[in-house]
Amino acid sequence: MITHLPILQVIVPLMSAPICLLLNRAKLVWLFSLLASGLAFVISILLLQQVMISGVISYELGGWQAPWGIEYRIDKLNAFLLLIISGISTVVLVAAQTSIEKEIPKDKHTYFYVLYLLSLTGMLGIVATGDAFNVFVFLEISSLSAYALIAMGQKRQALWASYQYLIMGTIGATFILIAIGLMYQMTGTLNMQDLSHRLPEVAQTRTVFVSFAFLIVGVCLKLAMFPLHLWLPNAYAYAPSIVTAFFAATATKVAVYLLIRFTFSIFGFSFSFATIPLQTLFMALGLIGIFIASATAIYQNNVKHIFAYSSIAQIGYMIVGFSLSTAAGLTATLLHMFNHALMKGAIFLALAAVIYRIGNVELNNLRGLGRQMPLTMAAIVTGGLSLIGVPLTVGFVSKWYLLTALVEQGWWPVAVLILLGSMLAVIYVWRIVEVAYFKAPLDENIKVKEAPVSFLIPIWTLVIANIYFGIDTRLSVQVAQGAAQSLFGVSP
């Protein structure tokens, strides 16, 4: 079975989805999903181990040799991503049953888990595959399930947010489809490995240039990169809390992965950055994104909105690292993907717990919650500190690597701007701390209890991971560095 790990990674959650539909007993379905997701997590650990020891794994689906058949190709980069996605998914699922009991009507619970697993399948499939068209198919699995999951939110705004996301997402996916068609037309292949060999021959054609442009725009729509981010805040804010926690920690990472995969592995680093002024463009957009999104976050009154805008800002940091087009910059981006998943996972799960207890996360209603739900609020604060980049948290590690990468290339002014951007994070995090710890509760008579254990376990797992990987950086840095260097063709 060990040789089949790449496909099992995707097939396990995929097959579990229809089985869940057949089981159709809320508790049972939850346990089963948890089991499937946990199994996927174990598989991803084994895969990462295998890749770190013996290098790239190729798996030919249907026994057909690539490029005629579809190939799964696992290297350090996607093994790392598989680990993040399946890990977060499992942790989030632990709290799912308690949370959706309050937020989703009973008769929809089974559908919720089916869609959740499908969404997980889609993301894992996008990351694992080595075939450009297969990316599109799994992208649609993850998107369609995402639209439906977001629409399950309690308020009617969830429907509208989901609709807008559907329109934007489909335009993005169709752009990617056009780009794949153009690439295919110029090279005659859909296999990524094969594409990377055949594209250089036609790299000078206008068709390939246009294909690249469409790909970038399509992926950036999915990525919610500034200025294509408008769908994200409402989608995150109105989705059921569990869905927000899962997506905020994983979905945008998958899009960043696609960006890296296409620019570095397929089109090649020299084409992407030499032929096209991608560096300046992305650096500028990344920086503007950080400032505008952080500034908007400060003026929000709903805590979910605050952190949704903060997510857009964090994408900015990833983009800046990416735009450096050096191994160091890419390492920073990969590290930040991992770290951001930990921070946002913890924060949004904690918010789910708050919603479980008091029904909403309007900033004003959080008054005095620091004393009433100490463990939950402490988690949000730790996550916030991590977002700012305070030492001893993971946020510090990725900012540190990003700054070193910038300074290495002599981008001093950008480094200063990054630091200024972090100051904005201090403001929006402080607003929450102020309300929760320094204001009296609205009504002293209402006793709010601490979140149930089913929340506290996953939340604190992530919080401890936040601190642990902030101190002991060997593992995450080693993997991120290995992945980044292999993309530049340097053997670590």
| 346 close to 383: Cβ distance less than 8 angstroms | yes
Question: Residue 410 and residue 48: Cα distance in Å, rounded?
Answer: 34
Q: From the CB of 165, what's the least distance to other proteins, in Å? A: 10
C-beta closer to other proteins: residue 170 or 326: 170
C-beta closer to other proteins: residue 186 or 405: 186
Question: Residue 33 and residue 36: Cα distance in Å, rounded?
Answer: 5
C-beta closer to other proteins: residue 71 or 75: 71
Q: From the CB of 33, what's the least distance to other proteins, in Å? A: 14
Q: From the CB of 447, what's the least distance to other proteins, in Å? A: 21
Percent helix, strand, coil in the chain, to 5, is 80, 5, 15
Q: From the CB of 93, what's the least distance to other proteins, in Å? A: 17
Question: Residue 431 and residue 118: Cα distance in Å, rounded?
Answer: 37
Q: From the CB of 291, what's the least distance to other proteins, in Å? A: 24
Neighbours of 168 (CB within 10 A): 19
CA atoms within 13 A on the CB side of 295: 7
Question: Residue 261 and residue 240: Cα distance in Å, rounded?
Answer: 31
C-beta closer to other proteins: residue 210 or 427: 210
C-beta closer to other proteins: residue 234 or 331: 234
Q: From the CB of 207, what's the least distance to other proteins, in Å? A: 5
C-beta closer to other proteins: residue 364 or 478: 364
C-beta closer to other proteins: residue 44 or 134: 134
Identify the sign of the CA torsion 42, 48, 49, 54. Answer: positive
Q: From the CB of 406, what's the least distance to other proteins, in Å? A: 32
C-beta closer to other proteins: residue 18 or 391: 18
Helical spans, DSSP H, in 55-205: 76-103, 109-128, 132-151, 157-187, 192-202
| 192 close to 266: Cβ distance less than 8 angstroms | yes
The secondary structure of 371-382, three-state, reads HHCHHHHHHHHH
Q: From the CB of 42, what's the least distance to other proteins, in Å? A: 18
| 346 close to 463: Cβ distance less than 8 angstroms | yes
